[in-house]
Amino acid sequence: MSSMTVGLPLTWRRIPERYNLIGSECEICHTKYFPVRRICPQCRRKGKMKEVKLSGKGKVYSYTRIYAPPSGFELDAPYMIAIIELEEGPRLTAQVEDCNARDVKIGTPVEMIFRKIQEDGKEGLIHYGFKFKTVSGTSHILQE
């Protein structure tokens, strides 16, 4: 069981954002957003949104290590969740893995990796999307 079983249409709708980090940019104020927004919260009706691909490079804004996982994430625990500030400005929430947990601090440079996020049981959908790893990190086993 995943944290919240969702249907196929929702998962498909999110593929551009979750696989390729497609966000939005307002052509009027040039603010970039992730995920996609239809309305620029700053310019509202005067704004003009277009899709934009984000680089996947950024740094850790805050982080935590989860020891009490939600259902569907038991096998991952303990795992690290962070708010990442992308170099284009938007922030997002993602897991940080494939690196030494001790290296993850506020300000640590990170880059996007493509991973399985969760699955809806043994026969359900497998949901993929972005996670992040430290830029200097190799494939150390996560340890504290």
Partner 1 sequence: MRRVAIVGAAMTKFGEEWERGFRDLIAEAGLKAIEDANMSGNELDAIYGGTMAAGRLIGQEHITALIADYMGLNPIPATRVEAACASGGVALRSGYLAVASGHHDNVVVGGVEKMTDVPVGEAAIALGGAGDQEWELFMGATFPALYAMMARRHMHEFGTTEEQMAMVAVKNHANAAKNPYAHFQKEITLRDVMKSKKVASPLKLYDCSPITDGAAAIVLTPLEKARKYTDTPVEIVASSQASDTLALHHRKSLTTLNSSVVASRNAFNMARMKPSYIDVCEVHDCFTIAEIIAYEDLGFVKKGKGGKAIEDGETTLDGKIPVNTSGGLKGCGHPVGATGVKQAVEITWQLRGEAKKRQVRGAEIGMTHNVGGSGATCVVHIMKRVN
Give residues in contact with partner 1 (CB under 8 A): 3-4, 10, 14, 35, 61-71, 73, 76, 78-79, 81-83, 91-95, 106, 117-118, 127, 129
Residues 6+ apart with CB under 8 A from 133: 96, 97, 98, 99, 110, 111, 113
User: Least Å distance between CB 83 and partner 1?
Assistant: 5
17 and 34 in contact (C-beta within 8 Å)?
A: yes
Taking the complex as a whole, the smallest distance from the CB of residue 70 to partner 1 amounts, in Å, to: 5
Quote the least distance from Cβ 139 to partner 1, whole Å.
20
Instruction: Using the minimum distance from each CB to partner 1, give the nearer residue, 83 or 142.
Output: 83
Question: 84 vs 137, which CB is nearer to partner 1?
Answer: 84
Query: Which of residues 35 and 135 has its CB atom nearest to partner 1 in the complex?
Result: 35
Closer Cβ to partner 1, 78 or 121, answer by number: 78
